[in-house]
Chains A and B, each alone.
Chain A
């Protein structure tokens, strides 16, 4: 006996819409089982993981701070994935964006004024894009697998940041702590409503990026080009679109947005560079992109959901006494169920029993 996946002739439109919700439900059910096996009351654990963070204003603010980078990165990745380019290195581009954007406040702290922040954002995007250009170049020139090259560059970026903050960029007045100097006031992304909580303009960037990308993919020829080349390079060539230019566009676009997320995070939430600046936003954003069905609007919602797992992980440490790695478990489960549901929308599972009939004239 073996299991075969048979392509469905028609995908159910209903299930295409409900698949992310179904995946969420299955994740929660799996969570119940996990908590139960760990000897915790599943329902109170789920409550403190998924619901409690939504009950207080300050934690809603935290949610937006966690969601903003996820959304910005995932929106960029959605364009890249739709063009059939697999940028797995957003985490590295996030870091390099943060590094490039931090050049002004770290190296030129005397440069002050309202121009600093826009310049930082711009340099952050350029840094992320430049770093993403490496796998794009390798792919177009040497036919290198971009999944591997972009992923491996993440570790290069992490070590580069580590080296910077311990070496060249270390705060001279910082008692040898591995951090850069704190950003000055003009280099800090302001809070939107300081009286209410720490939500900063990163969340506004997330909204703008979502809407603009949605418009591009939906209404502009560029978005059409992305979809065509993503589905068939041959049809794309027939249309007069260049696939190698698209590889660069996809990587530069997603790299720039990852870089924007990086510098926004550093300038808005951390306010300095330190050895670790991301709890894995660049990887979690891949889950966000797929949970949002590679649609910017869907990604916005999915970003909020995944941000909740970060908060839930923190809450789990405090109120249930579980390590915050439980957040990773939930993220992994979610991706598994999203991809599983998507596969079952496109394919049906068929059990094949080998029952060779021995009759008739067989040689």
Chain B
């Protein structure tokens, strides 16, 4: 697949000794990077390795503290995204910046630097999107589009600027396998036109498949430059984390008969115009089971989580049962008292308050379940800071949470470390039912494997675990049974061993009832 690589002279972008210092922290420390024309160059690294900082400097939204950027051999200073675009650098962000209430064409028009009549732009966009195999209706409203289609808008509007270098930040994290394949075709086409792509990802298989060269970052430094085709996923991971990623171990057959979590025809109307209605969801999780719920983002995952957690109540008390007790109308604290624990997808502002300390974030989830230890003074509910700090410290040690200072703000931790803390906060209670939405979203490989192992261990000790995840590798790694959520409906959970990637992909895309998976082993 990788065609003849051109080295040496036709260097498009070069970075020498690029450094970015925040206070005393060196986010980027003497980075050297070279991107040739018509190559797909991977930028690999854990969370906090400095990928975003580097990319922001290349795109002009951060100013380097030192070092030099060369564009086609000439030293340049990129002071703003506008200037980066003018040079020929385009960027597709991980989090889309689209207005849902506007049409595709209007969104594209908003991002253009020069004034082009919107009708002309719509024509251009449609033509371009067909050429690149990214079909788009310019008059569709963004709110009605899937995540994959929204990403196409971002890519098309970047391509409209006719860039020579396109930076893509974790582009496949929101796509189905089929959508990802489409994207790869587009990227191949972009490369064949002589453009280059800087591809940021933590999905090693993808990088191996797609990229000509890779630069690996760790702790703000380049730790390796390689041809990913020549490497194994394990050797790439080693460069990223600096040590072998501990493989997750799964012991078979500890599932019991006792049903710990059940939903009976759970339905819920959409609360907002952009939410998804849940339709007749039947789920049953036994002691010792881990159910993986796969699905593309925005198909009802958050809505299902909110219903299961009790953040929003069901209309029927019997719609949800925990440990055999109907809890549909019981709030989240009441469900926690029954032994359930919850980890939402969003770390900042949902699972944790960013501006609060780790110990305060301990109180957040456990003030009720651990009231005996954490609170004193009867109805006054005076917080026993000593007890809370002890518990927080215990979790920091158990989950190997890396932090600075004794009790830092949640916002100062890296994503992976905060997630370890949040998961650890719930595991520490030994919950009988654990529901986790996107357990390792944006988390580095080391932390992810630790979190997955902890969830497996929890199930083995007799808890029922539900994992809602977009990461199919993760689901296959930990789940004993797999169900797929699509447009608010959930398929029946099937044993993981009977599932294939292809079949899940089809279910995620809404194809039901066809038997695609006769082979017993899945792709991993």
Cβ 8 A contact of B355, one of A231, A237, A358, A362: A231
Using A219-B382, A359-B86 as known contacts, say yes or no to A235 and B164 having CB atoms under 8 A apart: no
In the bound complex, residues from chain A placing their C-beta under 8 Å from that of B354 are 231
A residues 202-241 in Cβ contact with B at 8 Å: 219-222, 224, 227-228, 231-232, 234-235, 237-240
Report the stretch among B75-83, B400-408, B509-517 that lies at the interface: B75-83
B332 adjacent to A362 (CB under 8 Å):
no
Q: Determine if A354 is an interface residue (Cβ-Cβ < 8 Å).
A: yes
Question: In chain A, residues 316-363, which have Cβ atoms closer than 8 Å to a Cβ of chain B?
Answer: 352, 354-363
Q: Are B113 and A227 neighbours in the complex by a CB distance under 8 Å?
A: no
Task: Please tell me if the beta carbons of A237 and B23 are within 8 angstroms of each other in the complex.
Answer: no
Are A352 and B80 closer than 8 Å at their CB atoms? yes
Give Cα distance in the complex from A240 to B364, angstroms.
9
Contact of A356 among B82, B356, B383 (CB under 8 A): B82
Most interface-central of B311, B352, B368 (chain A CB within 10 A): B311
Indicate whether A228 sits within 8 Å of B88 (C-beta atoms), given known contacts A234-B346, A235-B350, A237-B311.
no
B23 near A10: Cβ-Cβ < 8 Å = yes
- Determine the residue in chain A with the shortest Cβ distance to B371: A221
Cβ B87 vs Cβ A9 within 8 A = no
Chain A 1-41 interface 0/1 with B at a Cβ cutoff of 8 Å (1 = within): 00000000110000000000000000000000000000000
Q: Chain A's nearest CB lies how many Å from the CB of B50?
A: 15
B333 within 8 A of A: yes
Q: Are A221 and B381 in contact (CB under 8 A)?
A: yes
Q: What A residues does B346 contact at CB under 8 A?
A: 234
The verdict on B331 contacting chain A, using a C-beta distance below 8 Å, is yes
Give min CB distance, A310 to chain B, whole Å.
Answer: 35
CB of B161 within 8 Å of the partner chain: yes
CA distance A354 to B86 in the complex (A): 12
Q: Closest CB-CB distance, A176 to chain B, in whole Å?
A: 52
Query: Are B344 and A362 closer than 8 Å at their CB atoms?
Result: no
Instruction: Give every chain A residue within 8 A of B164 (Cβ-Cβ).
Output: 360-361
B365 within 8 A of A: yes
Does B380 belong to the interface (CB within 8 Å)? yes
The 0/1 profile, CB within 8 Å of A marked 1, for residues 347-379 of chain B is: 001111111100010011101100000010000
Tell me if B336 counts as interface (CB < 8 A to partner A): yes
Expressed in whole angstroms, the minimum distance between the Cβ of A295 and any Cβ of chain B is 15
What is the chain B residue whose CB lies nearest that of A231? B353
Tell me how many residues of B have a C-beta within 8 Å of chain A.
45
Which chain A residues border B86 with CB–CB below 8 Å? 356-360, 362
A220-B378 Cα distance, complex, nearest whole Å: 11
Nearest-Cβ distance from residue B271 to partner chain A, whole angstroms: 12
Q: Is the CB of B360 within 8 A of A224?
A: yes
A235 touches B383 (CB 8 A): no
Q: A221-B375, A361-B162 are in contact. Are A234 and B349 (CB under 8 A)?
A: yes
B89-113: contact bitstring with A at CB < 8 Å (1 yes, 0 no)? 0000000000000000000000001
B342 sits at the interface (CB 8 A): yes
Q: Mark B378-406, 1 if CB is under 8 A from A, else 0.
A: 00111100000000000000000000000
Q: Which residue on A lies nearest to B124, using beta carbons?
A: A363
Q: Which of A9, A227, A232 contacts B349 (CB 8 A)?
A: A232
Q: Is B160 in the interface zone, CB < 8 Å from A? A: yes
* Residues A239 and B83 in contact, CB atoms below 8 Å apart: no
Contact residue among A234, A352, A360 (Cβ-Cβ distance under 8 Å from B88): A360
Q: Please, how many angstroms separate the alpha-carbon atoms of A361 and B194 in the complex?
A: 13
Shortest beta-carbon distance from B38 to chain A in Å: 15
B336 touches A240 (CB 8 A): yes
Q: Which residue of B lies closest to A233 (CB)?
A: B349
19 A-B interface contacts by CB (under 8 A): A9-B23, A220-B381, A221-B375, A224-B367, A231-B353, A231-B356, A232-B353, A235-B364, A237-B311, A238-B309, A238-B344, A238-B364, A238-B365, A239-B367, A240-B368, A360-B71, A362-B85, A362-B161, A363-B161
Extra pairs beyond A219-B383, A360-B164 (17, CB < 8 Å): A10-B23, A220-B383, A221-B367, A231-B353, A231-B356, A234-B346, A235-B350, A238-B311, A238-B332, A239-B364, A352-B80, A356-B82, A356-B86, A358-B86, A360-B71, A361-B88, A362-B88
